[in-house]
Structure 1
Amino acid sequence: MRFGLGLFNKKRINLIIQDHVIRYLDMRQPELLEVKSSGERYLPEGIIQDGTITDRETLLTILEECVEEWGIKGREVQFLIPDSKLVIRKHHIPSEYKVEEIKGYLYLELGSTIHLPFEDPVFDYVLLETGEEKKEILLFAASEQMVNDYSTLLTSAKLKPVVADASCVALYRLIYLKQLTSEEDHTLCLQFDIPAIQLSVFHNHKPYFFNHLKLEMDYKSWNFKHHSTGIQQLQWQGDAGFIHGLVEDKLLEIDRIINYYKFTINNGQQGITKVIISGELPELSYIQDRLKSKLNVPVLLLDQSDQQLPSQFDVVLGLGLKEVQLC
């Protein structure tokens, strides 16, 4: 399972830049989840807003400090497309097109049968099903300008960006490696982070659905506890009832998406069979308990017992598995 937006594959480090944090990972043996080094740096509010870099100068200064502190100057880097800027949707193409012809066909269809919210897309796809008359694909697309904004930022910080990836695919690589899902499962993957929830559904080890749910929380109510290891712990200092209420609101949205997946996407024939939860929110156990009370399927927390890093690094670990042939 490989997804990349058009650059070459080589030994590299892994970096994610989100609205609120930069995380880095260098893996010694990815298939064993053996970490060589790691680091994270939480960002001041407003430098990146909903995936858009709004204060490039400050962000570059912070990134340069991280590059120096982590000793990664000159390294090749794979990074993630901001989830809020990624378009993932199903599309049908005529069956007569061979695999090597699909990308060319997709470029020809831009603006006619394929409509995207930007004019300069870079994209890749996953082949879902092949019928007698049509092939069904899942199209991953992002703005070339946005990808270039992040690429040039990394280059300015003396790094060498080589491939862009999607967080939902990165997370599923880790889930697959841990053997938490099967080909028959319809697995709902939930990544709970401070700014948003990333929601994706995988079947046959392929992504079939993706959504991005924003979380409106007061950034100043989070306390980022620093540790000598470079790994930080989040503590919510606001009203506990507020964050529980926010989670409950989002669980209602997730429930609607689960019903949409079963009754609209699968015509009532097949629903979610498993839920796997990860992320940086301290409330993951509470979320697991609430989902268990609502759903008649297994609800699992992504187990950290066999890895060196806490759950906020799950997506970065999955990104580091890109070199490993998993599925």
Structure 2
Amino acid sequence: MALFGSSASNLIGLDIGSSTIKVVSLQAVRGGYQLESAGVETLPAGSIVDGAIAKREAVADAINHVFHSRKIKGDQIASSVSGPAVIVKRISLPARSAAEVGESIHWEAEQYIPFDIAEVYLDYHLLGPSEDGSETNVILVAVKRETIDNQSDVIAMAGKEPAIMDLDSFALHNIYEVNYKPKPDSVVALLNIGASIMNVNIATGNEFIFTRDIGMGGNYYTEYIQRDLGVSYEEAEKYKKGLAPEELKGTVSTVLQSVSEILCLEVQKTFDYFRTASDFEELETIYICGGASRTEGLRDYLQETFQVPVEFLNPFQRIKADGNALPAGNDGCDFAVAAGLALRYRGDKPTGPASKGSSFGFLTGNLSQILKKLTKR
């Protein structure tokens, strides 16, 4: 799969989730970006199992359908992955040149990656020297080859070219930075709450400083409602969005709160872990997005638990869009990752010795600035 071409045009952002796929097409214009079109398509049940694509033809058909229904043109795709197949680590190596890092990164990575090194794609980014100059700081990313290859094959089955494979968490940060122009000293958390995975990012200003994928999301709410109320999947999906019959609303609210408590405990663990490993300051705001972020009562519960403002992340706050660019009735909150991917373009990351021949390219051109705070940890 070709990664690094000469064209600077934006790619189509494709977010393949466990229950839906989202597609965003952006056009670079004077002063920013224009949203050309965005679309969402529900996947048949069982299409994604444990984060892996189980029904390849069904997913490929869904990709084609949303491109056709939303009149999205172009076949160069930036997509992304997350979950247990992804490892992101900051590592420190003895001081060495960029070329030396590139030559040695594969064997250095073996001690940090809990997979067979032959079974992963590796990518890395130099953060720079440590404060005393004795070490070189590097962000290392590894993704299981099976995960990348499977997703790339499905994109190709849909007649599209998988140009770049990113991480959900990096795409999320990029769209946040474009839309919110954060102050240098602001500390925020970004929670992308999908059906089965929640991405938790922490950022200071424009600097991406921590990420963790948590294996839970909106499906927990659905499963608990089904179990406790004895209703169908379809009914449970409606109930968690506030559409329960009046006589069941109290019971549903109790179930939703119990699941929100579990989710918040996992988020709290993430914050606590990060505090022990960094100069983490108090959060100013939590931004939430993703399909499950609208679960009834979740926003209020997060706000009550963490005692900070909780806002829905708007991926098109500073991106121009006409009334037809988004699907009817959709405020855009579901499209954060897809929009972040649509910011990517061929050639926005220089190749390195470890990247040649790889089908994984996760870094944006300004990542050295986004991640520089990691050199202080």
TM over 0.5: yes
> Could you tell me whether the CA contact under 8 Å between 2:21 and 2:62 is conserved in 1?
no
Match of 1:313 in 2: 335
Q: Give distance in 1, aligned partners of 2:273 and 2:138.
A: 19
Q: Give distance in 1, aligned partners of 2:293 and 2:169.
A: 20
Verify: 1:256 aligned to 2:269, yes or no: yes
Match of 1:90 in 2: 90
Output the amino acid matched with 1:222: E
Q: 1:58 to 1:174 in 2, by over 3 A?
A: closer
Q: Give distance in 1, aligned partners of 2:48 and 2:99.
A: 37
1:99-119 C-alpha deviation (Å, 9 max, x unpaired):
3432332112243x2323344
Output the amino acid matched with 2:216: K
Match of 1:292 in 2: 303
> Could you tell me whether the CA contact under 8 Å between 2:24 and 2:338 is conserved in 1?
yes
Match of 2:35 in 1: 35
Query: Which 10-residue stretch deviates more, 251-260 or 84-93?
Result: 84-93
Match of 2:237 in 1: 222
Q: 1:13 to 1:168 in 2, by over 3 A?
A: same
Residue 180 of structure 2 aligns to a residue whose secondary structure is: coil
Q: Give distance in 2, aligned partners of 1:74 and 1:37.
A: 12
Match of 2:248 in 1: none
Match of 1:199 in 2: 200
Q: By how many angstroms is 1:298 displaced? A: 4.8
Match of 1:63 in 2: 63
Match of 1:8 in 2: 4
Q: By how many angstroms is 1:172 displaced? A: 1.0
Residue 202 of structure 1 aligns to a residue whose secondary structure is: strand
> Looking at CA atoms only, which structure, 1 or 2, has the larger radius of gyration?
2
Q: Give distance in 2, aligned partners of 1:285 and 1:271.
A: 29
Match of 2:24 in 1: 25
Q: Give distance in 2, aligned partners of 1:208 and 1:276.
A: 15
> Could you tell me whether the CA contact under 8 Å between 2:129 and 2:135 is conserved in 1?
yes
Residue 156 of structure 2 aligns to a residue whose secondary structure is: helix
Match of 2:351 in 1: none
Match of 2:129 in 1: 130
Q: By how many angstroms is 1:133 displaced? A: 1.8
Match of 1:227 in 2: none
Q: By how many angstroms is 1:171 displaced? A: 1.1
Output the amino acid matched with 2:289: S
Residue 187 of structure 1 aligns to a residue whose secondary structure is: strand
Identity of aligned residues (%): 18
Q: By how many angstroms is 1:68 displaced? A: 4.0
> Could you tell me whether the CA contact under 8 Å between 2:87 and 2:113 is conserved in 1?
no
> Could you tell me whether the CA contact under 8 Å between 1:138 and 1:207 is conserved in 2?
no
1:63-119 C-alpha deviation (Å, 9 max, x unpaired):
3434444455761111112334221122221122x23432332112243x2323344
Output the amino acid matched with 1:94: P
Query: Could you list the runs of 5+ residues in structure 2 that have no partner in the other structure?
Result: 224-232, 245-251, 327-331, 349-364, 370-377
Output the amino acid matched with 1:99: A
Q: 1:249 to 1:93 in 2, by over 3 A?
A: same
Verify: 1:240 aligned to 2:256, yes or no: no
> Could you tell me whether the CA contact under 8 Å between 1:277 and 1:284 is conserved in 2?
no
TM-score, normalised to structure 2, is 0.72
> Could you tell me whether the CA contact under 8 Å between 2:256 and 2:297 is conserved in 1?
no
C-alpha RMSD over aligned residues: 3.0
Match of 2:160 in 1: 159
Q: 1:110 to 1:6 in 2, by over 3 A?
A: farther
Q: Give distance in 2, aligned partners of 1:79 and 1:255.
A: 29
Q: Give distance in 1, aligned partners of 2:181 and 2:298.
A: 18
Q: By how many angstroms is 1:180 displaced? A: 5.0
Residue 322 of structure 1 aligns to a residue whose secondary structure is: coil
Q: 1:162 to 1:260 in 2, by over 3 A?
A: same
Verify: 1:176 aligned to 2:186, yes or no: no
Query: Which 10-residue stretch deviates more, 211-220 or 83-92?
Result: 211-220
Q: Give distance in 1, aligned partners of 2:334 and 2:151.
A: 21
Q: 1:85 to 1:179 in 2, by over 3 A?
A: same
TM-score, normalised to structure 1, is 0.82
Output the amino acid matched with 1:170: A
Q: Give distance in 2, aligned partners of 1:127 and 1:300.
A: 33
Query: Could you list the runs of 5+ residues in structure 1 that have no partner in the other structure?
Result: 225-233
> Could you tell me whether the CA contact under 8 Å between 1:138 and 1:208 is conserved in 2?
no
Q: By how many angstroms is 1:244 displaced? A: 2.6
Residue 215 of structure 2 aligns to a residue whose secondary structure is: strand
Q: By how many angstroms is 1:297 displaced? A: 4.7
Residue 222 of structure 1 aligns to a residue whose secondary structure is: helix
Residue 339 of structure 2 aligns to a residue whose secondary structure is: helix
Query: Which 10-residue stretch deviates more, 191-200 or 203-212?
Result: 203-212
Q: By how many angstroms is 1:159 displaced? A: 0.5
Verify: 1:143 aligned to 2:144, yes or no: yes
Higher RCO structure (Cα 8 Å, ≥6 apart): 2
Q: Give distance in 1, aligned partners of 2:303 and 2:253.
A: 21
Q: Give distance in 2, aligned partners of 1:61 and 1:177.
A: 32
